[in-house]
Amino acid sequence: MMLDYLEKQLIRHEALRMKPYTDTVGKLTIGIGRNLTDVGITEDEAMLLLKNDIDKVGHDLTDHLGWWNGLDEARRIVLMNMCFNIGITRLLGFHNMLVALQNGDYQKAADEMKDSAWYSQVKGRAIELEQIMRTGVLT
């Protein structure tokens, strides 16, 4: 009873904010008064956010690229990693890579990854993902 009351009171006093904001004393804050500047988040909270983000990536890929579930695990992981990194909208811009991947031409898909601005921007991540795309072997 007391905790229910306190939760409702804190929500009323702090408000629920889904995006970071600067509070009245200049602290970066999110949610219901979580002071990110001084408190941050716990490892458990970070892992919960990661799990939710991975779930969202899977739903985005299914919604926009229904065929992706038919890929082997290694290539699905590459797509999920890229989607996590750049979002579904930018991933859909990799048209030639996606067509090659859908057609099972993993070498061309890897070549298309390598021939992108993204590849030089994320460096080691891109090299690893390109190799997984090319070989189908998780490193």
Average pLDDT over residues 16-34: 96
Please report where in the chains the tokens 């390109």 appear, as a residue.
130
Give the pLDDT confidence of 38-94 residue by residue, as tens digits. 999 999 999 999 999 999 999 999 999 999 999 999 999 999 999 999 999 999 999
Q: What is the pLDDT of residue 78?
A: 98
State if pTM tops 0.85.
yes
**Residue 103 to residue 108: CA distance in whole angstroms:** 10
Q: DSSP state, 32?
A: T
Report, as an integer, the average pLDDT of 3-11.
Answer: 95
* pLDDT over 90 at 1, yes or no: no
- Return the percentage of the chain with pLDDT > 90, whole number: 97
Distances (CA, A) of 116 to 86, 99, 110, 112: 13, 15, 10, 7
Alpha helices per DSSP H over the chain: 2-14, 43-64, 73-92, 95-102, 106-114, 117-122, 124-135
- Nearest in space to 77 (alpha carbons), one of 16, 17, 137: 137
Per-residue pLDDT, 139? 83
Q: What is the rounded CA–CA span in Å between residue 33 and residue 42? A: 15
Residue type, 8: K
The domains located in the chain, with CATH, are 2-35 (no CATH), 43-135 (1.10.530.40)
- Specify the pLDDT at position 74: 98
Chain centroid, CA 134 distance in Å: 22
Average pLDDT over residues 92-119: 98
